[in-house]
Amino acid sequence: MVILMGNIQEENKNIEHSMKEVAYNLLKNKEVDLIIGYAKGTIPLSSSPSFIINQKDVDNLIWDNLCHVNLARYVVPPITKIIDNENIPLKVGIVSKGCVGRSLIHLAKENQVNLENIKIIGISCNGIINRKRIEKELGEKEIIELSVMNSEIIAKGVDFVKTFFFDDYLNESCKKCKIKAPPMVSSQSNVIVGGSVESSSGEDDFSDLTEHESKTPEEKWQTIVELLSPCTRCYACREACPMCYCNLCFVDQNKPIWFGKTTDMSDIVSFHLVRAMHVAGRCVACGSCSSACPMGIDLTFITRKLEKIVKQRFDFTSGLSFDILPPMMTQKMNDKEDFMIGEH
Amino acid sequence: MTDKILKKEEIEKFYLDLSRYFNFFAPTKENGNIVFKKITDPCEIIFDFLNSKVPPKEIVFPRMETLFTYKINGKEIEIEPVNNLNEKYLIFGIRPCDAYSFNLLENFFASGKFQDDIFIEKRKNTILIGMGCNTPRQTCFCTSLDHGGHPHRMDDVDIFLTDLGDKYLMRSISKMGKAIIDKLAWLSDAQRKDVAKAVELSKKAEELIKTKVDLENIAETLKPHFDHPLWKEISENCLGCGTCAFLCPTCTCFDVIDENDHYNNRGKRIRLWDTCQFCIYTTHASGHNPRKSKIERCRNRILHKFSYYPKNYGMLGCVGCGRCIQSCPVNNDLRVIIHKIKNLEKEKIEVKIIAT
Amino acid sequence: MQLSAYIPCLTTIKSIISENEANDIKTFELVFRKEEDQENFDYNPGQFAEISVIGKGECPIGIASSPTEKGSIKFTIKKMGTVTTAMHMAEVGDAIGVRGPLGNGWPIEELKGKNIIVIGGGFAFSTLRSLVEFIIHDDNRADYKEIIVIYGNRNCSEILYQEDLMRWKKREDVDVALTIDCAEKGWDGRVGFVAPIVESVDPSPKNSIAIMCGPPIMIKTTEAVLEKLHFQPGQILESLENRMKCGIGKCGRCNIGDKFVCVDGPVFSKAELNKMPREY
């Protein structure tokens, strides 16, 4: 649930303002060499990840409900290094909404990033707009301007104005998100800006899955097939995902060939399900995969279920703590094994 | 030659007459996206659309295509060529930019010592019924292209339609187009005012394209800048996701694999769309990669379209459809990139960050 | 007209020779199943073909035989990726697909009347073997002047085509200099890397063309030596490899700038390479 703390636009402006201030000071005090944040996009419904090295460019940073890319992507393979012209590694400050911060913490756990070299500029996110859904619903009407006002998203075209209720048109993963700002981790002095909101401590709410779970296996399969049928196998979901940092993805391995690369439905489904399994217990529900998908497939529909399974079986939520080992990196005698054949 | 009128209520008739001879492809809606699909019912056709998500090139150059099939029987192998090349295709409602891309594709696949006979054969059997854009997108820039790109460009199609509201003005462009129109004897003749309205719409559409991209001599401009820091700058926030290539009407790169049906001892060699944005695309079996970081890969994409293409085929490898701009998840806007290239001499690019 | 540029012609493996102690390099002799395919396969030394293990895939391999050796074609293949590994598992009598000949090959016309210095290293000697066999054939030998072959390997068990090399050595019209990286018992050839051996052989650049194939480090060091010996960039020819799929300039991946290795190459002169970006 998104709790509206007054005007969202106002809130964003405040976050943006304090974020700029923090970024400016970090650069000024040479605490970081580089800030990775978001800049305004050239078209409506977009934002552009931006690398800022000069204090004067800090003003280009923005924060709004369209900052959808998970910036943790820029510090894990295949991006192996961020260096200057003299080949010296740069200390990076990353503008982090809750899920970006969680990604970084989780990636540090997996030894993919060194948090010593990364400053998490935490901000409290109020949800990312589901741009694919809005685009699809408007159909063949082109949006020229998109803004958020009070609790509404306003899309303007040449000959139309349409409003959407903010809470309904967030990414599905954002709707149930309880971790708005990056969690504080002991080993790291995070910089939280913009009215940090404590993560609500209530039970995780997976009620969105109830409908799907009530279906028969055949119906579930049908839903998944329908969901994935537009897939062109461009792998944008994989490339946008900070957890997909394998040197050679299982689908690209050819000695032996594990998975078909065709656009036959069976190959499409197996790719997405296996990828989802690979990010189980690691996915931070940032929704980057869905927002990168050119065909507008909401892939978080699959990862969401895995999130629930991991929570129930291992009582684990990824990227929350630096002290707990993720379930896929450890083994405990009391791990639930009821997925194994023979146990019911 | 007289222009004809196709009333919108006559589409069903039009479809029934032509679908007897052709696989009738038209814009339709699938999972919220506009796609060109073979339709079986004229009700499926979407008439008011900006453009399809995936370009209609996928009809003649599908994302997965069989090159040949084979049967393995011990040491005996039997190879069967594909046998569906005689199929006739009709693409209804193709936009002028996409129709022009068919020229580029044809030119590419037919050029050089070896012809891609599968593509050429398919293209030869394809009829294009183009439709002018009355409301181009903000990201469209076809008028910036030197081939005379225009939202109502008619040169690349067989029949050209202008949407006049409740009817289409129909003009035959090619011989084949004329033959088709002649067959449809029931079509009424266009009035002078219809033609005048079409001219007016065409002019209006041109004015609606606000995006101007300076592509003059871009190949020449790019020539000395292979090692320019610009490439580091434009690749900085690229995710290497390849969306730009997968949605590009002129991208043609593909992968070739053997797809086996082990139960029946047969299989097929297929080609699948591929993109220069993927690391594995150029990686040798030894592990060596000539384009090892996204800096080289982004550069290759831009140079391919705006330098290699003009050099090898005498035309730019871009049609100005704007799909890459709309769909890039990090908003790495091609128009901005071109602007940067054109201003290389004026504005010094100082790159301080290298992300590889 | 061939039905599709992507359909390979079927051949049968006639013989398989293991070329080294490690047994990861084999030479396959292939015979076309249809006579007309054999006739259509009209190639030059330095060209390559796409070899198909049907069901596994296709990969580009330089032709090791010479067009003067009629009746069959030969490919020397190192076990590397999917297709080459499948090839190594093949037996005599198996069906193998061949699509080609592809690429430009060594410029045998332009080489006429010239001294030719063939410089090879490791297993990248196959198209050089093709060239030497072609030149020393009775029909062609008079067209070319002096021939020097310099061929280096890590050790003597890695030397390819040992019988052919012996045969060439016995001829008076070919100078063969074999070298291995470190001295070995019973080795009577030279010892050292290819570049210094080229320097000690000291070929004259006058009316000469140097033709090179080998690992990148050998190419780099030998280029420097040749430059020192006053070879002009136009007098140095190299054969490149890039990842390829189609071999006919359509699949896109082997480009170096605006050139495709598969159709514009694989043979380029150093002068051409100097103008091309280093994307290989």
At A4 the pLDDT is 47
Exposed, middle or buried by CB within 10 Å (0-12, 13-18, 19+), for B249? buried
Neighbouring C-beta atoms of residue C214, cutoff 10 Å: 23
Number of H helices, E strands in chain C: 8, 15
Supply A55's token pair. Answer: 């204090």
For residue B31, what pLDDT band results from cuts at 50, 70 and 90? confident
**Closest Cα partner for A255 from C89, B39, C125, C39?**
C89
Query: What's phi and psi for B214, nearest 5 deg?
Result: -85, 105
**Closest Cα partner for A231 from A284, A290, A288?**
A290
Supply A210's token pair. Answer: 């109830």
Q: Does residue B20 have a pLDDT over 50? A: yes
Angstrom distances, CA of residue A138 to CA of A35, A135, A288, B31, B331: 35, 5, 22, 13, 21
Percent of chain B at pLDDT above 70? 100
What are the sequence ranges of the domains in chain A? Answer: 8-329
Q: Does residue A207 have a pLDDT over 90? A: no
Supply A128's token pair. Answer: 């990312």
- Is there a contact between B247 and B265 (Cβ–Cβ < 8 Å)? no
Gap between the Cα atoms of A56 and A47, Å rounded: 20
- Is there a contact between B78 and C10 (Cβ–Cβ < 8 Å)? no
Supply C243's token pair. Answer: 């990842």
At A332 the pLDDT is 76
pLDDT digits (tens, 9 = 90+) for C212-248: 999 888 999 999 999 999 999 999 999 998 889 999 9
Query: What's phi and psi for B319, nearest 5 deg?
Result: -115, 0
Gap between the Cα atoms of C255 and C135, Å rounded: 30
Neighbouring C-beta atoms of residue B224, cutoff 10 Å: 9
Question: What value does the mean pLDDT of chain A take?
Answer: 86
Residue of C53, C82, C88 to mutate for A, most A C-beta atoms under 10 A: C82
At A114 the pLDDT is 86
- Is there a contact between C141 and C106 (Cβ–Cβ < 8 Å)? no
Gap between the Cα atoms of A271 and A233, Å rounded: 9
At B144 the pLDDT is 93
C-contacting residues of B 19-78, CB under 8 Å? 67-68, 70, 72, 75-77
Top pLDDT among A80 and A339 is at A80
Gap between the Cα atoms of A185 and C122, Å rounded: 54
Whether residues C85 and A255 touch (CB distance < 8 A) is answered with yes
For residue A10, what pLDDT band results from cuts at 50, 70 and 90? confident
**Closest Cα partner for C52 from C91, C23, C84?**
C84
Residue of B49, B51, B243 to mutate for A, most A C-beta atoms under 10 A: B243
SS (H, E, C) chain B: CCCEEEEHHHHHHHHHHHCCCCEEEEEEEECCEEEEEECCCHHHCCCCCCCCCCCCHHHHCCCEEEEEEEEEECCEEEEEECCCCCCCEEEEEECHHHHHHHHHHHHHHHCCCCCCHHHHHHHHCEEEEEECCCCCCCCCCHHHCCCCCCCCCCCCCCEEEEECCCEEEEEECCHHHHHHHHHCCCCEECCHHHHHHHHHHHHHHHHHCCCCCCCCCHHHHHHHHCCCCHHHHHHCCCCCCCHHHHCCCCCCCEEEEEEEEHHHCEEEEEEEECCCCCHHHCCCCCCCCCCCCHHHHHHHHHHHHHHHHHHHHCCCCCCCCCHHHHHCCCCCCHHHHHHHHHCCCCCCCCCCCEEC
Question: What value does the mean pLDDT of chain C take?
Answer: 92
Whether residues C4 and B68 touch (CB distance < 8 A) is answered with yes
Residue of B269, B272, B280, B301 to mutate for C, most C C-beta atoms under 10 A: B269
Instruction: Record the pTM.
Output: 0.91
Q: Is C85 on the interface with A (CB under 8 A)?
A: yes
For residue B102, what pLDDT band results from cuts at 50, 70 and 90? very high
What SS3 state is found at C214?
coil
When CB atoms are compared, the residue of B48, B236, B325 closest to A51 is B236
Beta bridge partners of B354: A83
Q: Is B120 on the interface with C (CB under 8 A)?
A: no
Give how far the C-alpha of residue B113 lies from the chain's centroid of Cα atoms, to the nearest Å.
24
pLDDT digits (tens, 9 = 90+) for B237-246: 999 999 999 9
At B351 the pLDDT is 74
Find the residue in B nearest to A142 (Cα). B137
Query: What's phi and psi for B265, nearest 5 deg?
Result: 50, 40
At A6 the pLDDT is 60
For residue A185, what pLDDT band results from cuts at 50, 70 and 90? low
**Closest Cα partner for C64 from C126, C15, C133?**
C126
At A199 the pLDDT is 54
At A85 the pLDDT is 79
For residue A170, give the DSSP letter: B
Q: Is B113 on the interface with C (CB under 8 A)?
A: yes
Q: Is C252 on the interface with A (CB under 8 A)?
A: no
What SS3 state is found at A306?
helix
**Placement of tokens 């010892």 in the chain:** C191
Find the residue in A nearest to C86 (Cα). A255
What are the sequence ranges of the domains in chain B? Answer: 4-54+83-208, 218-342
Whether residues A257 and C82 touch (CB distance < 8 A) is answered with yes
For residue A116, what pLDDT band results from cuts at 50, 70 and 90? confident
Cα angle B209, B52, A276 (rounded to 5 degrees) comes to 125
pLDDT mean over A215-232: 93
Which chain A positions have a beta carbon within 8 Å of B280's beta carbon?
A: 248, 252
When CB atoms are compared, the residue of B67, B267, B274 closest to C6 is B67
Supply B265's token pair. Answer: 């001892």
For residue A198, give the DSSP letter: P
Supply C232's token pair. Answer: 């002009």
Gap between the Cα atoms of A145 and A155, Å rounded: 6
Question: What CATH number belongs to C9-101?
Answer: 2.40.30.10
Residue of B30, B33, B292 to mutate for A, most A C-beta atoms under 10 A: B33
Question: What value does the mean pLDDT of chain B take?
Answer: 92
Give me the interface pTM, i.e. the ipTM. Answer: 0.90
At A195 the pLDDT is 45
Which chain A positions have a beta carbon within 8 Å of B247's beta carbon?
A: 294
Gap between the Cα atoms of C200 and B17, Å rounded: 80
Gap between the Cα atoms of C152 and A100, Å rounded: 54
Percent of chain A at pLDDT above 90? 51
Find the residue in A nearest to C82 (Cα). A255
Whether residues B243 and A49 touch (CB distance < 8 A) is answered with no
- C100 backbone φψ class: left, alpha, beta (φ>0; ψ -120 to 50): left
When CB atoms are compared, the residue of B241, B270, B332 closest to A236 is B241
Sequential pLDDT tens for chain C (280 residues): 355 889 999 999 999 999 988 899 999 999 999 999 999 999 999 999 999 999 999 999 999 999 999 999 999 999 988 899 999 999 999 999 999 899 999 999 999 999 999 999 998 899 999 999 999 999 999 999 999 999 999 988 899 999 999 999 999 999 999 999 998 888 888 999 999 999 999 999 999 999 999 988 899 999 999 999 999 999 999 999 888 999 999 999 999 999 999 999 899 999 999 999 988 8
Q: Which of A100-104, A110-114, A187-191 has the weakest average pLDDT?
A: A187-191
When CB atoms are compared, the residue of B29, B239, B336 closest to A42 is B336
At A2 the pLDDT is 42
pLDDT digits (tens, 9 = 90+) for C166-179: 999 999 999 999 99
Find the residue in A nearest to B236 (Cα). A51
Top pLDDT among C267 and A198 is at C267
Supply B97's token pair. Answer: 């930019």
Whether residues A142 and B247 touch (CB distance < 8 A) is answered with no
Q: Is B263 on the interface with C (CB under 8 A)?
A: no
Smallest Cα distance from B354 to chain C, Å: 19
Gap between the Cα atoms of B212 and C169, Å rounded: 68
For residue C226, give the DSSP letter: H
Gap between the Cα atoms of A236 and B240, Å rounded: 8
What length does chain B have?
A: 356
Supply C246's token pair. Answer: 């189609």
**Placement of tokens 């200057």 in the chain:** A84
C-contacting residues of B 271-330, CB under 8 Å? 271, 274, 276, 281-286, 290-291, 296, 300, 303-304, 307-308, 311-312
Run of H or E including C227: helix C216-228
Whether residues B332 and A79 touch (CB distance < 8 A) is answered with no
pLDDT mean over B32-56: 92
Whether residues B282 and C243 touch (CB distance < 8 A) is answered with yes
Find the residue in B nearest to A239 (Cα). B241
Gap between the Cα atoms of A119 and A31, Å rounded: 8
Chain C residues with CB under 8 Å of a chain B CB are 1-8, 10, 52, 54-59, 80-81, 84, 93-95, 97, 241-243, 245-246, 248-253, 255-258, 263, 277-280
In this complex, which chains have at least 3 CB pairs below 8 Å with chain C? A, B
Smallest Cα distance from B76 to chain C, Å: 7
Which chain C positions have a beta carbon within 8 Å of A261's beta carbon?
A: none
pLDDT digits (tens, 9 = 90+) for B107-120: 999 988 899 999 99
What SS3 state is found at A61?
strand
When CB atoms are compared, the residue of C97, C258, C280 closest to B312 is C258
- A152 backbone φψ class: left, alpha, beta (φ>0; ψ -120 to 50): beta
Find the residue in C nearest to A253 (Cα). C82
**Closest Cα partner for B87 from B137, B133, B42, B126?**
B126
Q: Does residue A305 have a pLDDT over 60? A: yes
- Is there a contact between B253 and B245 (Cβ–Cβ < 8 Å)? yes
Q: Does residue B211 have a pLDDT over 60? A: yes
CA atoms within 13 A on the CB side of C243: 24
Gap between the Cα atoms of B151 and B161, Å rounded: 12
Which chain B positions have a beta carbon within 8 Å of A140's beta carbon?
A: 34, 46, 48-50
Whether residues B135 and A158 touch (CB distance < 8 A) is answered with yes
Whether residues A254 and C85 touch (CB distance < 8 A) is answered with no
- Is there a contact between A244 and A78 (Cβ–Cβ < 8 Å)? no
Chain A residues with CB under 8 Å of a chain C CB are 254-255, 257
For residue A339, what pLDDT band results from cuts at 50, 70 and 90? low
Q: At the topology level of CATH, where does C115-239 sit? A: Rossmann fold (3.40.50)
Whether residues C243 and B267 touch (CB distance < 8 A) is answered with no
Q: Does residue A208 have a pLDDT over 90? A: no
Whether residues A294 and B327 touch (CB distance < 8 A) is answered with yes
For residue A71, give the DSSP letter: G
Supply A212's token pair. Answer: 């799907």
pLDDT digits (tens, 9 = 90+) for B264-303: 999 999 999 999 999 889 988 888 889 988 999 999 999 9
For residue A86, what pLDDT band results from cuts at 50, 70 and 90? confident
Q: What type of residue is C216?
A: P
- Is there a contact between B64 and B119 (Cβ–Cβ < 8 Å)? no
Supply A5's token pair. Answer: 């703390």
Which chain B positions have a beta carbon within 8 Å of A69's beta carbon?
A: 239, 329-330
Run of H or E including A180: none
Beta bridge partners of B188: B5
**Placement of tokens 């409900």 in the chain:** A65
At A3 the pLDDT is 45
Which chain B positions have a beta carbon within 8 Å of A257's beta carbon?
A: 257
Exposed, middle or buried by CB within 10 Å (0-12, 13-18, 19+), for B314? exposed
**B-C C-beta contacts closer than 8 Å:** 121
